[in-house]
Structure 1
Amino acid sequence: MAISEKRIGEMSKDELLEFARNRIFFLGLRDLAAALSYENMQYGLGKMIYALDSGDVYSVFGPDATITRNVGRWMSGFGYGVVIRWPDNGVFFPEIRPNGCGMILVRLDEMPRKDDIIERISELEKSDIYLDGTKLKPDFGKGNHFFEFYKVINTSPEIEHEIPEDANYAIIHGSSPEKKSEIYSMIDTGNWVKTPLGKISVLDGEDAKQYYRKWLKFEKFAKKRREFLAREILGDCKILSNLTHQGIFKKNEIRLGCHDTMDESYPPGEALFPVALRWDHPVYIFKGFKNLSDEVIGRLDFDSRVDELGIRDELKNINILPHGGGYSIKLEYSNIEIINTEIGNCFILSGARPVSRVDEIDDISGISRFGRMIVTNPHELPYDYRVTGIIEKVMEYKLAKPVAKLQPLMTIKI
């Protein structure tokens, strides 16, 4: 019997993985971080499919497909740089762990002195500052969060009134660590469903409604927090955009590290989306297109699968855009084998040419060329941020149009 004809509840582990793979659409680069994310996603998606007893679950990875350094999310079977959708039946999967992360882009009349900025941030770090009764803990130096200043490299005529060349700009990238536990704690409230790929927490009924209400309040607070901190530090500034790229965008859609090019908080096609690669590379500002087009779907060889699954119209409104370049893993392994265990997936990395003598070690490649490596999560692997390939893929797949390019002047991680 073909897998497509088999009841989901009767599928073996391997059959469920194959069923899930058929529902993963991949626009990412061909590197180790992207490959690990794809492999891991089969498990998270497969568990969702099994718990819902529905094949109407799918995911789309953007050009920045990569690992997540959130250990809980990774161990639950989810990657990053991805849109995940499932039937709109009032069910949520809190292990995906949306954290309300986003970026606020602001315009400044003049560039503040670095001493003044450092002093002001230090004051905030030491003082008790509250927003809506919640004590804030600024986190400009945590993980990939940052506070960065720019000048214009170029800007298109259509947005010169918003991004003139004679002004300066700043971005705060962050979420709301003060309230994150309110969302993450709902994992233990869910019903734990056993699947051939491991268990998954499922919220439904009143618990799901409570979770979604909490999320809406949480995201609103995270956006307000970014604006509050921008004004506290910079004083008078013009907010150009304040967009979430990690969260619940619809009752049946979560985005992890992806903008929605038709974000409902702005008129269609008018939002300004920053794509920040690394502190030593320009930030690109885009206006979004509806995507994916039929032409791109065909070019990616998705036609047969999207028509078989009946999701062509949905993929034509996936409206995906990276918020950055994603992590790259600084290892040369090319093969991935997975062993699913009680403690999660074990990833066996191999394929790097082994050396027989220490003097054969390549100075550039390093000692990682020895043997295999086995990991359960990529958090401790050596990593960097991608700087090439992402913007080209955005253009190639017609996800958005570039309207400005900004040069970093100062990056704050304190």
Structure 2
Amino acid sequence: MIKDVTQVPREELLELAEERIFSLGLRDLASVLAYENMRYALGRMIYALENDDVYCVLAPDATITRNKPRWLSGYGYGGVIRWSDENVAFPEIRPNACGMLLMRLDNLPSKKDLVKRASEVEEKELELNGVKINPDFGRGNHFFELYKPLEISEEVSDVLPPDAFYAVLHSSAPELKDKMYSWAEKGEKVNTPLGYITILKNSAAREYYKDWEKLKEFSKRRRELLAREVVGEHEVVSNFIHQGLFAPNEARLGCYNTTEQEEDGLFPVALRWDFPVHVLRGKPNLSDEVIHRLEFQERAERLGLEEELRNVNTLPHGGGYKIQLPYQKIDITTTSFGNVFTLSGLKPASTMSEISEGKAISEFGGMAITDPHSLPYTYRGEAVIGKTIDLGLGDPVAKLRPVLTVKI
């Protein structure tokens, strides 16, 4: 441990942060951007905590966040962040209690009826705990989706019978989100060598966590309420959060906790509308074999994080954003209004006549951005599932084929 991190120069602070990021991510532009940005969040956290007891494990779906304030605060998406002090909170993480409700249906509603009922929900005066509900089936990457089974493992056929139908509701709780996000404006602003970070201490941190607990419970009940309104009677298979606080000193951005319940949980991993939803049985991770294979062992031992890595218990909830640009190089310039990420790849051609197959020349120039919100994107496919299974983060037990995706 560094004796006084507040005296550490900027570049050394970034090095401390880098050493504490363990990436399971794919090697693509979105994953690398997540890693590069997360260095700044962890560096600021280290400085604000006045110790280096903080680390991050990026999951196989590590990617950008399209939430601009979160990105400008230094956070990527698809990862677990833990720090030592339970009396300090970092509200710029902006937890929103996003999660997925996986449900079993005895009958599959017709597409016409489903669209009609989902549309009617938008017009209903629904309330939960005295709060008016604003359905968000079509907002961002949220959706309501119905499935027929493609593959069901015999070991889970009692919970996921092959003759049933299934649905997933992916949503958060926008009705209470503003209150949770407003904490980012209430805390103490700490000026670090890597930029400002907002922290909450002691009683403020405890009140913040109480608000989070209310938001988490509201979000879960909200999904159940909306599901009943759209499909009627159903059996809840699971209803897990994948974005938010999992302890006063632990945040997960897009990752399940595979040991959230005592018995084996079943976690839906949704890729895209044109790919099956994979259901995985959660299990403790990372294994010693994976820690050695990824060459994390020596670093984890030196930092005293061996047991932490064995109990990170992470699992992606989806494939994550894939940036549809050919860039392979990232340069970061710090300015008065934040970090500027300059993306580049092959040498740009001066004239179109220079471009031909086999030449290391591109018709594209570079691109400089402060945040990735405007970058063209799609969602990743099966590569994330393959890596998740290869790393032993969960056991595949079912595949569900999309029948209808509702985004209205």
Could you tell me which of 360, 370, 377 is aligned with 2:364?
A: 370
Report deviation, 1:126.
Answer: 1.6
Q: Is the Cα–Cα contact under 8 Å of residues 272 and 285 in structure 1 kept in the other structure?
A: yes
Structure 2 SS opposite 1:225: helix
Are residues 409 and 361 of structure 1, via their aligned partners in 2, closer, same or farther at CA, if it must alter by over 3 Å? farther
Could you tell me which of 19, 26, 35 is aligned with 1:38?
A: 35
Q: For residue 306 of structure 1, what is the amino acid of its counterpart?
A: A
Q: For residue 112 of structure 2, what is the amino acid of its counterpart?
A: D
Alignment of 1:9-28 (within 5 A): 9-28=6-25
Give, in whole Å, the separation in 2 of the partners of 1:108 and 1:205: 46
2:140 aligns with: 143
**2:262 matches 1:267:** yes
1:111-150 Cα offsets, whole Å, 9 max, x none, are 1011111111211112221111111110011111011000
1:92-115 Cα offsets, whole Å, 9 max, x none, are 000011110000000111110111
Q: Is the Cα–Cα contact under 8 Å of residues 44 and 77 in structure 1 kept in the other structure?
A: yes
Are residues 362 and 373 of structure 1, via their aligned partners in 2, closer, same or farther at CA, if it must alter by over 3 Å? farther
Question: Mind listing any 5+ residue stretches in structure 2 that lack a counterpart?
Answer: none
Are residues 232 and 360 of structure 1, via their aligned partners in 2, closer, same or farther at CA, if it must alter by over 3 Å? farther
Q: Is the Cα–Cα contact under 8 Å of residues 332 and 369 in structure 1 kept in the other structure?
A: no
Alignment of 1:379-398 (within 5 A): 379-398=373-392
**2:402 matches 1:405:** no
Could you tell me which of 159, 165, 168 is aligned with 1:162?
A: 159
Give, in whole Å, the separation in 1 of the partners of 2:84 and 2:2: 20
Q: Is the Cα–Cα contact under 8 Å of residues 331 and 368 in structure 1 kept in the other structure?
A: no
**2:233 matches 1:236:** yes
1:371-414 Cα offsets, whole Å, 9 max, x none, are 21000000000001000311111111111100111111110111
Q: Is the Cα–Cα contact under 8 Å of residues 189 and 207 in structure 1 kept in the other structure?
A: no
Report deviation, 1:232.
Answer: 1.1
Q: Is the Cα–Cα contact under 8 Å of residues 278 and 385 in structure 1 kept in the other structure?
A: yes
Structure 1 SS opposite 2:382: coil
Alignment of 1:260-409 (within 5 A): 260-263=257-260, 266-268=261-263, 270-358=264-352, 369-409=363-403
Report deviation, 1:362.
Answer: 8.5
Q: Is the Cα–Cα contact under 8 Å of residues 63 and 393 in structure 1 kept in the other structure?
A: yes
1:188 aligns with: 185
Could you tell me which of 34, 45, 68 is aligned with 1:48?
A: 45
Are residues 38 and 130 of structure 1, via their aligned partners in 2, closer, same or farther at CA, if it must alter by over 3 Å? same
Are residues 278 and 373 of structure 1, via their aligned partners in 2, closer, same or farther at CA, if it must alter by over 3 Å? same
Compute the TM-score of the two structures, normalised by the length of structure 1: 0.95
1:203 aligns with: 200
Q: Is the Cα–Cα contact under 8 Å of residues 70 and 379 in structure 1 kept in the other structure?
A: yes
Are residues 180 and 362 of structure 1, via their aligned partners in 2, closer, same or farther at CA, if it must alter by over 3 Å? farther
1:105 aligns with: 102
1:203-244 Cα offsets, whole Å, 9 max, x none, are 012111110000000000000000000011111100000000
Q: Which moved more, 1:75-84 or 1:390-399?
A: 390-399
Give, in whole Å, the separation in 2 of the partners of 1:84 and 1:379: 22
Q: Is the Cα–Cα contact under 8 Å of residues 332 and 368 in structure 1 kept in the other structure?
A: no
Structure 1 SS opposite 2:175: coil
Give, in whole Å, the separation in 1 of the partners of 2:209 and 2:286: 28
Q: Is the Cα–Cα contact under 8 Å of residues 349 and 362 in structure 2 kept in the other structure?
A: no
Q: Is the Cα–Cα contact under 8 Å of residues 148 and 409 in structure 1 kept in the other structure?
A: yes
Q: Is the Cα–Cα contact under 8 Å of residues 297 and 303 in structure 1 kept in the other structure?
A: yes
Compute the TM-score of the two structures, normalised by the length of structure 2: 0.97
Give, in whole Å, the separation in 2 of the partners of 1:193 and 1:279: 42
**2:2 matches 1:8:** no
Give, in whole Å, the separation in 2 of the partners of 1:267 and 1:297: 24
Are residues 36 and 238 of structure 1, via their aligned partners in 2, closer, same or farther at CA, if it must alter by over 3 Å? same
1:121 aligns with: 118
Q: Is the Cα–Cα contact under 8 Å of residues 79 and 255 in structure 2 kept in the other structure?
A: yes
Q: For residue 21 of structure 1, what is the amino acid of its counterpart?
A: E
Could you tell me which of 222, 225, 228 is aligned with 1:225?
A: 222
Give, in whole Å, the separation in 2 of the partners of 1:384 and 1:147: 18
RMSD: 1.5
**2:92 matches 1:95:** yes
Q: Is the Cα–Cα contact under 8 Å of residues 146 and 174 in structure 1 kept in the other structure?
A: yes
Give, in whole Å, the separation in 1 of the partners of 2:239 and 2:181: 23
Report deviation, 1:370.
Answer: 1.8
Q: Is the Cα–Cα contact under 8 Å of residues 328 and 344 in structure 2 kept in the other structure?
A: yes
Q: For residue 92 of structure 1, what is the amino acid of its counterpart?
A: A
2:244 aligns with: 247
Give, in whole Å, the separation in 2 of the partners of 1:316 and 1:267: 17
Structure 2 SS opposite 1:209: helix
